[in-house]
Amino acid sequence: MITRRLAGPAAALFAVLAMPALAQQPLRIGVVNPFTGPLALYGDEMTRGYEIAAEQANAKGGVLGRQIVLVRGSATNPQEAIAAVEQLVGRDKVELLSGTYVTAISNAGSEAALNNSKLYWETNALAKDLTDRGLPNFLRSGPDSNSFARRSVEGVLQLVQPRLAKPAKDLKIWIEHEDSAFGTSIAKEQERLLKEAGITPTLSSHSARAVDLSDAILRAKNANPDLWLSTGYVIDHNLLLRTAREQSFRPPAMMLVGTGDTFETLEAVGKEFLNGILLVSYPRTDVGESYGPGATAFLKAYQAKYSRDPIAPQAMSAYVGFKIMLEAVAAARSTEYEKVVAAAAAMDKPLGSYETGYGVKFDKTMQNVRALPLVAQWQDGTVRAVFPAEAIPQGGKVFDLGRR
Amino acid sequence: MADLVNVVTVGILLGGIYALVSVGLNLIFGVIRIVNFAQGEFVMLGMYGAYAGYAFLRLDPYVSLLVLLPLFFLFGAVVQRLLLAPLRNEPSMQIFATFGLLMLIENVVLALTRGTAYSVPSPVSQAGIGLFGIQVGVVRLIALAAATAAAVGLGLFLRNTMPGRAIRAVAQDRAAATLMGVDVERIYMITFGIGTALAGLAGCLLAPIYSLSPQIGTSFILPAFAVVVLGGLGSVLGAYVGGFVVGLTEALAGYYLDPALKYAVIFGVFVLVLIVRPSGLFGKVGAEEVGLRDQS
């Protein structure tokens, strides 16, 4: 009885005594990403964003008075994600987890994190289903697939339609998408939003692993659309664009969602054919400072640390997501997921608060509704932000949509 | 009608690609009697070989061929001698060995490239020919011509040269060929070398069409299996014609039905052929089994 009565105060005393010791210990954060395999390029790129954010935070004294140490856990599929999380928590003693380039990895990794009572802070994976699950340890600071669909349709209605000078009912849109959950979920949402705007698009899907996509291009060409709107991965987008070039398929406007904005596509297709093609992607470092304050500083930090330009825009989105996580941890004064999620839910920052132009406001599924992708455009071999207008850097403009 | 002609043209050009990838696969099966799962990875290596030629020496992929073909022949011969020959009495283990080789090659390339999608430029990669409203890419025409030349050249080699006759003799009856003084192990090595060189040829010629990824070999090997089963296991002519059957089926199904359904249609036909005629269109009855087999 005496023992039980003393247990509470004793535990509190122990916690107080232990606090300085804990403050001395580094805060270990697990990073779950594909660091091997075909997606390693982007897993590495995202993690560079985390590394810069951690380094900058450490220079200011860390978080909760503790220096941040990142520990990598490589996962190329759901099974490996579970193993990586178990290892990060069990062996490496991480207190928080963050990721992920791939939805399937995030899905499995976050459930494994919940089994270990750890927070899983998602910065990049897109599928809306991730937040719809309602996992109590999961939230997403970056845009979801619906926001990509929404931004692409905004681009269609505010950028493409006025330039094509056609009423909605006459606008012919061909929606092409790769047939996994990623492409399908975005295409279905695009279809819904376009129908709301009085446009009835045609949908067509393809396998991202197909050896030949001539049929997809010939079908689209036969439909003679005003806009060809495609969601896919790097390899299938490159093959689609090469086939379009080969088949002389040059509709008045083309828009790619998700990929198509890196040197890989530029090398595969060439700048002449790419000129004018619109892209819906994560905000890039060239956004105007009024839209994304600090984007230029991030670019300089990246160049200084890695001696080259960012490979893909995912890095800056990961960087911002990691910063938001650290702010939530600091506000929670804890790494326990319940407290961090509660602190994140209380955050309220307007659009334009971060380098990507993101703000912070989580909805009830813990999706940050103030994280929005941008519409950019290939212009003479360079990708430039073109929508919304406030994201356009000084001196920037929208090229003719018609292929030059 | 114009649509149909266009789709058929696309199908024939695609058939040329499949034939190019499948001829070597079928030669290896016809002679050594193993299904080489790593054949697609050899194609992938051919693509990366063309990329290396471009990246380090600024060589056009069609020039890189001159260097890569002998290298691939040697590579195939070494693989046969070091990996497959020791398992000569265990055919099932040989198949597993080629699967292990597939995983090894794919993961080594993954580790080296970290998944970056490289491209191999060529002056002809953007060239196209337009005729009566039909657009044809020059690189695809070259692949078609090369597939035809490879099939014809291989057929002539097998019929009219001593090594070719020795290969056919081993394919027909290994024991009888041994009694006639043919060095069977040497023939196996040469055959695997030729099959690997044909994969390298395919890789070089296809490099200007695709973005390179370590998984692209797997994308090719699945339709290639359909090609060799449809055309006839072990038949060079079968691989050539089977390529066009699969290419046309894919193009027609993709255009007139649904691109998402085209592989379902191809493999539906694949299963049907296995049920109705296990030896394929040009294979002799029993060719799918270990035993007597003539090369056409």
| pLDDT given for residue A403 in this prediction | 56
Cβ separation A213–B251 shorter than 8 A: no
Q: Residue B119 and residue B100: Cα distance in Å, rounded?
A: 27
Our CA-based measurement puts residue A381 at a distance from the nearest CA of chain B, in whole angstroms, of: 16
| pLDDT given for residue B296 in this prediction | 45
Our CA-based measurement puts residue B200 at a distance from the nearest CA of chain A, in whole angstroms, of: 17
Tell me which amino acid residue B266 is: I
Query: How many structural domains does chain A have?
Result: 2
A87: exposed, middle or buried (Cβ count in 10 Å: 0-12, 13-18, 19+): middle
The reply to whether A150 and A136 lie within a common domain is: no
Cβ separation B263–A36 shorter than 8 A: no
B40 falls within a domain: yes
The reply to whether A113 and A194 lie within a common domain is: no
Whether the CB of B156 is below 8 Å from some CB of chain A: the reply is no
Cβ separation A219–B215 shorter than 8 A: no
Closest CA to A102 of A134, A79, A132, A70: A79
B131 falls within a domain: no
Of B118, B210, B259, the CB nearest to A215: B259
| pLDDT given for residue B292 in this prediction | 36
List, for residues A37-76, the tens digit of each pLDDT value.
778 888 999 999 999 999 999 999 999 999 999 999 999 8
**Which residues of chain A lie closer than 8 angstroms to B259, CB-CB?**
204-207, 210, 213, 215-216, 219
pTM greater than 0.90: no
Q: Is residue B130 within 8 Å of residue B222, measured between CB atoms?
A: no
List, for residues A78-123, the tens digit of each pLDDT value.
999 999 999 999 999 999 999 998 888 999 999 999 999 999 999 9
Residue A60 belongs to what domain range?
22-143+293-345
| pLDDT given for residue A1 in this prediction | 42
Of B114, B128, B259, the CB nearest to A204: B259
A12 falls within a domain: no
Our CA-based measurement puts residue A36 at a distance from the nearest CA of chain B, in whole angstroms, of: 7
List, for residues B126-180, the tens digit of each pLDDT value.
788 887 778 888 889 999 999 999 999 998 998 899 999 999 888 888 889 889 8
B255 falls within a domain: yes
B191-195, B230-234, B235-239: which range is least confident on average? Answer: B230-234
Residues in CB range of B87: below 8 A, 6 or more apart: B93, B94, B97
The reply to whether A135 and A151 lie within a common domain is: no
**Which residues of chain A lie closer than 8 angstroms to B250, CB-CB?**
212, 215
Q: How far is CA B99 from the centre of its chain?
A: 16
A355 falls within a domain: no
Mutation site for A-interface testing, chosen from B44, B107, B135 by largest number of A Cβ within 10 Å = B135
Query: How many structural domains does chain B have?
Result: 1
A202: exposed, middle or buried (Cβ count in 10 Å: 0-12, 13-18, 19+): middle
Which residues of A, range 202-261, sit inside 8 Å of B by Cβ?
A: 204-207, 209-216, 218-219, 222, 234-235, 238-239, 242, 245-248
Region A298-307: what's the mean pLDDT? Answer: 96
B24 falls within a domain: yes
Place of tokens 């992938």: B44
Other C-beta atoms within 10 Å of A115: how many? 13
Mutation site for B-interface testing, chosen from A204, A214, A230, A267 by largest number of B Cβ within 10 Å = A214
Residues in chain A: 404
Cβ separation A39–B115 shorter than 8 A: yes
Region B222-244: what's the mean pLDDT? Answer: 87
Question: CATH number of the domain that A326 lies in?
Answer: 3.40.50.2300
The reply to whether A121 and A150 lie within a common domain is: no
A11 falls within a domain: no
A303 falls within a domain: yes
Count of A-B CB contacts under 8 Å: 106
Of A36, A215, A245, the CB nearest to B111: A36
Region B224-235: what's the mean pLDDT? Answer: 86
| pLDDT given for residue A200 in this prediction | 93
The reply to whether A378 and A237 lie within a common domain is: yes
Asked whether the predicted pLDDT for residue B293 surpasses 50, the reply is no
The reply to whether A244 and A382 lie within a common domain is: yes
Q: Which chain A residue shows the shortest CA-CA distance from B118?
A: A264
Cβ separation B10–A238 shorter than 8 A: no
The reply to whether A150 and A276 lie within a common domain is: yes
Q: Which chain A residue shows the shortest CA-CA distance from B224?
A: A211
Cβ separation A212–B17 shorter than 8 A: yes
Output b/e per residue, A163-177; b: 16+ Cβ within 10 A.
ebebeeeebbbbbbb
Q: Is residue A184 within 8 Å of residue A149, measured between CB atoms?
A: no
Q: Residue A222 and residue B10: Cα distance in Å, rounded?
A: 14
**Which residues of chain B lie closer than 8 angstroms to A214, CB-CB?**
10, 14, 251, 254
Report the range out of A39-48, A293-302, B17-26, B284-293 with the highest average pLDDT.
A293-302
| pLDDT given for residue A14 in this prediction | 52
Residue B28 belongs to what domain range?
2-115+139-276
A26 falls within a domain: yes
| pLDDT given for residue B107 in this prediction | 87
Whether the CB of B123 is below 8 Å from some CB of chain A: the reply is no
Where residue A22 falls among pLDDT bands split at 50, 70, 90?
low
The reply to whether A378 and A239 lie within a common domain is: yes
**Which residues of chain B lie closer than 8 angstroms to A204, CB-CB?**
258-259
**Which residues of chain A lie closer than 8 angstroms to B10, CB-CB?**
212, 214-215, 218
A2 vs A8, more confident: A8
CA A16, A21, A24, A27 torsion-angle sign: negative
| pLDDT given for residue A21 in this prediction | 53
A4-8, A159-163, A386-390: which range is least confident on average? Answer: A4-8
| pLDDT given for residue A292 in this prediction | 93
Where residue B8 falls among pLDDT bands split at 50, 70, 90?
very high
Of A41, A206, A239, the CB nearest to B115: A41
The reply to whether A203 and A241 lie within a common domain is: yes
List, for residues B90-125, the tens digit of each pLDDT value.
878 888 999 999 999 998 998 888 778 899 988 887
Cβ separation A41–B118 shorter than 8 A: no
| pLDDT given for residue B286 in this prediction | 57
**Which residues of chain A lie closer than 8 angstroms to B215, CB-CB?**
38, 209
**Which residues of chain B lie closer than 8 angstroms to A235, CB-CB?**
117, 210-211, 213, 216
Of A40, A204, A215, the CB nearest to B115: A40
Tell me which amino acid residue B255 is: Y
Asked whether the predicted pLDDT for residue A31 surpasses 80, the reply is yes
Q: Residue B235 and residue B242: Cα distance in Å, rounded?
A: 10
B106 vs A14, more confident: B106
Asked whether the predicted pLDDT for residue B290 surpasses 60, the reply is no
| pLDDT given for residue B234 in this prediction | 76
Question: CATH number of the domain that B84 lies in?
Answer: 1.10.3470
Region A161-183: what's the mean pLDDT? Answer: 91
B268 falls within a domain: yes
Asked whether the predicted pLDDT for residue A400 surpasses 80, the reply is no
Whether the CB of A36 is below 8 Å from some CB of chain B: the reply is yes
Q: Is residue A263 within 8 Å of residue A174, measured between CB atoms?
A: no
List the structure tokens of A368: 């940050």
| pLDDT given for residue A222 in this prediction | 92
| pLDDT given for residue A241 in this prediction | 96
